[in-house]
Amino acid sequence: MNEILDVDLLAFETGSTTQRSAVVDGVMRSLATGFVYTAHDLSESLIDDAYAMLGAFFDLDTERKQRWTVDGAHGQTGYTGLLVETAASSDSPDWKEMLNWGDTVPAGHPLRTGFPNRYLDPVLPERDIAGITDVLLRFHRSIADLQQRFLRIIAVGLGAHESLFDETVAVGANLTRAIRYPPMEQAPGTEHVWAGAHADINLITALPRATARGLQVDIDGAWVDAVPPEGHVIINTGLMLERISNGVIPPGMHRVVADPKQPGQRLSVVQFCHPAPWTALTPLASCITPENPQRFLPLRAADALDEVLWQINLVEDGRRIAD
């Protein structure tokens, strides 16, 4: 497969058996690239509101933004400044700044007591941007719902029941990340790479919109621009799904590169869909065959994420690359 296909989540949910099968087939063929585009039923007005508020936040001066940094959060809530996160394949920090948030579970829940560094209270700049907390949490929950629904297509494609992922992602430590890529003429160096080549660690990632071009996908060793149809969400796969599928679904390798002819910044919001931290990432029996023998041993989702957080330089007291 050498192209990213466009599918319709709603056709899987409401269509005939034939239509559902066609969606599953399209998703599985497209995910050979690690990417797929899908139609959706997200609120465009909610997306508009979220992007407007996030744009206002990133327009604040650096000192005000840095007040929302959370020590010890490892980039899982609050603000992360420029030249901090670093692709695991690179020693050069990415030219981007981020605002991170997620939902949480009730106080006393065993996930919150067992994994306190995964279920952090969202730290959002309400004092600077009135109303942003409500909007961003509603945005987060709507994307989480879409991701859970899309994972049902993938589950069927892997030969499992469509509810395979429902239980674990319902309490997964999903993370939403707003990313501002500043104008490249302000960047150190001469390259136009905003974010180096990498694969995400999670199950799937959703990107409903970006304000400028830049996302590129590695397909058969060539970098291809990801250009979804208007009003579609980009879905890409992560390393955890690769383990569960025994390599049937590869992780989507990608980078973000500015066009030298396209001045200005880029703003995008991505949401990482994670299984609950205690989930064992065990290859599905349906994905183990004589032609595709078992490639991975079980690994806890929490441990897989901890390793990647260190690789991408977000562990404050143990950075892989010093400031």
| Site of tokens 């208007």 | 230
3-state SS, 239-304, equals: HHHHHHCCCCCCCCCEEEECCCCCCCCEEEEEEEECCCCCCECCCCHHHCCCCCCCCCCCCEHHHH
Residue 184 lies in a domain: yes
| Least confident interval from 1-15, 20-34, 85-99, 104-118 | 85-99
Residue 208 lies in a domain: yes
DSSP string, 154-204: HHHHTTS-TTTTHHHHHT---EEEEEEE--GGGSSSS--EEEEEE-BSSSE
Residue 1 lies in a domain: no
d(CA 72, CA 173): 17
Which range of residues forms the domain containing residue 18?
Answer: 6-318
Residue 28 lies in a domain: yes
In this predicted structure, the answer to whether residue 19 has a pLDDT above a threshold of 90 is yes
Tens of pLDDT, residues 258-305: 987 777 999 999 999 999 999 999 999 999 999 999 999 999 999 999
CA geometry: angle 203, 207, 213, nearest 5 deg? 130
- Which residues are CB-contacts of 105 (< 8 A; sequence separation ≥ 6)? 111, 112, 119, 171
Residue 47 lies in a domain: yes
CATH classification at residue 293: 2.60.120.330
Tens of pLDDT, residues 105-143: 888 899 999 998 889 999 999 999 999 999 999 999 999
Mean pLDDT of 42-47: 97
Please give the pLDDT value at position 322.
Answer: 56
Domain count within the chain: 1
Residue 24 lies in a domain: yes
Residue 323 lies in a domain: no
